[in-house]
Amino acid sequence: MTTNVANGVNEPEKIENDAEDIVDPWTVVSSSDKGVDYDKLIKRFGSSQIDQELKDRFEKVTGKPVHHLLRRGIFFSHRDMHSILNQYEAGKPFYLYTGRGPSSNSMHLGHLIPFILCKWLQDVFDVPIVIQLTDDEKCLWRDIKLEEANKMAYENAKDIIAVGFDLNKTFIFSDLDYVGQCPEFYRNMIRIQKCVTFNQVKGIFGFGDSDVIGKISFPAVQAAPALSTSFPDIFAGKKIPCLIPCAIDQDPYFRMMRDVAPRIGFQKPALLHSTFFPALQGAKTKMSASDPNTTIFLTDTPKQLKNKINKHAFSGGQTTVEEHRERGGNCDVDISYQYLTFFLEDDDQLEKIKKDYTSGALLTGELKKILIDTVTPILQTHQERRAKITDEVLKEYMTPRKLGYNY
């Protein structure tokens, strides 16, 4: 077995679209101001587009309008979502799994995106969610002590809870704590580690001979929560299908898991993939917590937010007011407009902003003000909610336990 587990590609999948875009779990870089070419990424990764038919079916099955993150193509790609909808239509259970690598004490605006969709999916489908904090990964990849990464995991968990997840349907866990609390999780790690060779992780993740052995076996840790038996308290040992909403750079882990799952008697996990949340400076890179200037943290004050957007948000407008009025702005590269597609829920208002900015009727400063006015209350509400999450509440969410479902 020397071929790639997922799609038969033999070379390392440092995905390069036109030798320009790089997309893997550690790097997202595009040469285009418009960002990564997602159509090409779908072809290269072998996933399916979230097309109108799927969105219509979503609405038919749930009886609710589809979330704007799906409506607008921010979640744009999937694997086996129809199977999950079949499952739901047949009255059978599934569960959600998503995660976060805790690399800083404060999460940023982009980190919210998968959690916002997950919260909506939890409400609409009434399903449990497991949320993995890969503090072990952060230690292995970065110069961070275990204690420090573990502390950040708990800080990040507060931000995640503040998105509004139902305590009765949500289990959040740190790898450094949970693996050592759950023999079934470790057993699933071993089952997965037995099915994947060094050649395969080399092909999928680009690992090399000088990588530490912790990195090489880590993909099994991120894959294990896609098996319901990794959570005996929740699923009582039953095999329940899993749906994983995540940014598309995390897909390699789950392509690997989709290859392994049937070999160890499980259904392949389904996926919903999001685009990346662009950096303030432009869509060539995604927002990153390690560069404060490109990043709006969930802890930023209204003043910091305003300053960052006004100073750093890449503009699609023209250099002078006169020129802008005449030629109009370019929404495809304008970061303020891009952010509004993530956070402004009203479609009509968004459409009008696009029209006015493109025509030149709306100036860059005005567009930035709309973004500031949209995001400020989101940040403030988040901060208020987060402030109420005591250590006791945090502990409840992070305690392995039965949730509000009888499996």
Give contact residues for a second copy (rule: CB under 8 A).
1-2, 136, 139-140, 146, 176-177, 179-187, 190-191, 193-199, 201-202, 207-214, 216-217, 219-220
Residue closer to a second copy, measured from CB, 65 or 208? 208
Distance CA 91, CA 307 (A): 50
Q: How many CA atoms lie within 13 A of 377 on its CB side?
A: 6
* Residue 103 C-alpha from the chain's centroid: 15
Q: Dihedral sign, CA of 201, 204, 208, 214? A: negative
Closest CA to 112 of 385, 347, 391: 385
Q: What are phi and psi of 244, to 5 degrees?
A: -115, 105
CB of 6 to a second copy, least distance (A): 15
CB of 102 to a second copy, least distance (A): 14
DSSP labels, 270-296: EEEEE-PPEETTEEEEE--TT-GGG--
Residue closer to a second copy, measured from CB, 21 or 175? 175
CB of 185 to a second copy, least distance (A): 6
CB of 143 to a second copy, least distance (A): 10
Residue closer to a second copy, measured from CB, 197 or 349? 197
Task: Give the burial class of 390: count Cβ atoms within 10 A of its Cβ; 0-12 exposed, 13-18 middle, 19 or more buried.
Answer: exposed
Residue closer to a second copy, measured from CB, 191 or 354? 191
Residue closer to a second copy, measured from CB, 87 or 188? 188
Residue closer to a second copy, measured from CB, 47 or 150? 150
CB of 126 to a second copy, least distance (A): 30
CB of 224 to a second copy, least distance (A): 11
Q: Is 131 helix (H, G, I), strand (E, B) or coil?
A: strand
